[in-house]
Amino acid sequence: MPYGGIFVGCSGFSYRDWKGTFYPSNIPEGDMLIYYSKHFKVVELNYTFYSMPHPHTARSFLEKAPRMRFSVKANRIFTHDRSYTERDVSLFVKALEPYLEKDKLVAVLFQFPQSFHFGEDSVEYLRRLSKSFEGIDKVVEFRSRSFGRRDFLESLEELGFSLVNTDAPKVKGILVGPWLSVGEINYVRLHGRNAEKWFNHEKPYERYDYLYSLQELGEIMERIKKIHQGKETYVFFNNHYRGKGALNALQFKELLGERVSIPKGLNINLTGRLWE
């Protein structure tokens, strides 16, 4: 396994504002995944949160990037609306079948909003959700600090989940870390540290407008190495505005000892190259 079992990628890849930074400015959107796969071997798919996925899309992605492994974010009906039916489960799982058949699925990511708080009802909901997706690798991210209970978090594996560790601004009510290894895999999401815009923003992307410094990346790397414990570990950069997450992901790979090629647009538009 590359990088000592630590796999690095981005949360999403089809951002138009990556044209001219990570991507060449004239790249067709249909070629973005092909280009992305030249730099990364894993990707987190986020479009599935907004619309129910279809197996045709999965087959298309696999044809374009046959060496890629995919993490798939659960649709909001499972995490934010919490009003799903078994038919919804069936449709979502069917869309995953091409990844499962090729052993290209990292996990399904269940990212709950900050309004989802710890309590008996929430634990029961997680138990129901786990049963609905039985046999599928699952990771869970909590935004509410009320879930920062070590006894509960360490029981997540019994519920069928691996824990998502996060880096985010240290603002009121948000769970950061907690840097525990729980479950069959380690899964890390890095959202940036834009505290000023986390709650007070006009456009959703403003929350993720942040470029990690090399010092910050080094500190995060040390935390990840501590929870690694020989498990497959997946690190996804979600600070996506104008390709900042792509640059940080490449820098992180370099810190882990991998030779990388920084696209020209990132060098021109963003700072923080390791050799400067």
Flag whether 27 is in a domain.
yes
Closest by Cα among 170, 262, 177 to 227: 177
CA dist 95 and 89 (Å) reads 10
Flag whether 14 is in a domain.
yes
How many structural domains compose the chain? 1
Cα-based distances in Å from 49 to 5, 16, 94, 150, 217: 27, 18, 16, 28, 28
What's the pLDDT score for residue 198? 86
Flag whether 275 is in a domain.
no
Residue 268 pLDDT grade (very low, low, confident, very high; cuts 50, 70, 90): confident
Residue 199 pLDDT grade (very low, low, confident, very high; cuts 50, 70, 90): confident
CA dist 258 and 224 (Å) reads 16
Flag whether 79 is in a domain.
yes
Flag whether 276 is in a domain.
no
Flag whether 187 is in a domain.
yes
Compute CA 254 distance to the chain's CA centroid, rounded to the nearest angstrom: 19
- Residue pLDDT, tens place only, 125-181: 999 999 999 999 999 999 999 999 999 999 999 999 999 999 999 999 999 999 999
DSSP 8-state assignment for residue 174: B
Flag whether 202 is in a domain.
yes
Compute CA 227 distance to the chain's CA centroid, rounded to the nearest angstrom: 17
Residue 11 pLDDT grade (very low, low, confident, very high; cuts 50, 70, 90): very high
Q: Evaluate whether 139 touches 164 at the Cβ level (below 8 Å).
A: yes
Tally Cβ neighbours within 10 Å of residue 90: 11
Q: Evaluate whether 272 touches 20 at the Cβ level (below 8 Å).
A: no
- Residue pLDDT, tens place only, 45-70: 999 999 999 999 999 999 999 999 99
* Burial class of residue 72 in the structure, from the number of CB atoms within 10 Å of its CB (0-12 exposed, 13-18 middle, 19+ buried): buried
User: What CATH number is attached to the domain comprising 6?
Assistant: 3.20.20.410
Residue 109 pLDDT grade (very low, low, confident, very high; cuts 50, 70, 90): very high
Flag whether 274 is in a domain.
no
What's the pLDDT score for residue 271? 56
Q: Which residues contact 11 (CB under 8 A, 6 or more apart)?
A: 44, 46, 189, 236, 237, 238, 240, 245
Its domain, for residue 111, covers: 2-269
